[in-house]
């Protein structure tokens, strides 16, 4: 059966020790009037100003975690607002980002090309795409063609989701389990 090409960014799946993900996340801040949009499932990095911002794909950005939503007082409506995504250019102080920052979290990500067991334990970049403005969800995928051994790649593939409808390894859209490799709270590991 063909895979569904879902594009949902990095979705928390479980802990590296096999325990279920426990919804743990921490609060960070987004800079007042940051122009960059950040979507649920996007990797984020710390800034020198003490905030978080979108981690760029195909770079050695040290990822602090995965963006899971934002809270702020809307400057137009003056109402408290929670969203899956930060749309960019919100001119208000006190923007709170919720970030899944445990370096032991394993994430599910959609691969942008065929991905077999022989592709496991390598380090990969993520695709450089924006998210869906209707759902607020990231559309980043595992960039299968951009892999290597370097510790600075964004994620490391550790397994293929078994028994899922998206487990056909011969075509794009297969669900791959990854961990953040170049994590701010832990050094990266070389791939094999």
pLDDT at 60: 85
pLDDT at 49: 96
The arithmetic mean of pLDDT across residues 94-112, rounded, is 97
Whole-model pTM?
0.94
pLDDT band at residue 164 under the 50/70/90 scheme: low
Write out the two tokens for 1. Answer: 């059966």
Query: What average pLDDT does the structure give for the chain?
Result: 93
For 24-113, strand residue ranges (E) read 26-30, 43-46, 52-54, 65-73, 80-83, 95-100, 105-110
Write out the two tokens for 127. Answer: 């695709």
pLDDT at 171 over 90: no
């Amino acid at each position: 059966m063909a895979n569904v090409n879902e594009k949902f960014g990095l979705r928390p799946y479980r802990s590296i020790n096999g325990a279920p993900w426990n919804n743990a996340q921490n609060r960070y801040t987004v800079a007042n009037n940051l122009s960059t949009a950040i979507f649920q499932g996007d990797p984020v990095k710390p800034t020198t100003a003490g905030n978080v911002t979108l981690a760029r794909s195909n770079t050695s950005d040290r990822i602090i975690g995965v963006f899971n939503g934002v809270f702020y007082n809307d400057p137009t409506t003056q109402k408290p607002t929670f969203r899956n995504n930060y749309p960019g250019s919100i001119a208000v102080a006190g923007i709170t980002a919720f970030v899944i920052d445990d370096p032991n979290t394993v994430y599910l990500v959609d691969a942008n090309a065929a991905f077999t067991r022989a592709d496991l334990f390598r380090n990969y970049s993520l695709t450089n795409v924006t998210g869906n403005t209707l759902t607020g969800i990231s559309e980043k995928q595992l960039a299968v063609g951009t892999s290597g051994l370097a510790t600075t790649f964004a994620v490391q593939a550790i397994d293929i989701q078994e028994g899922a409808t998206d487990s056909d390894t011969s075509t794009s859209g297969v669900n791959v389990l990854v961990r953040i490799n170049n994590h701010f709270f832990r050094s990266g590991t070389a791939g094999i």
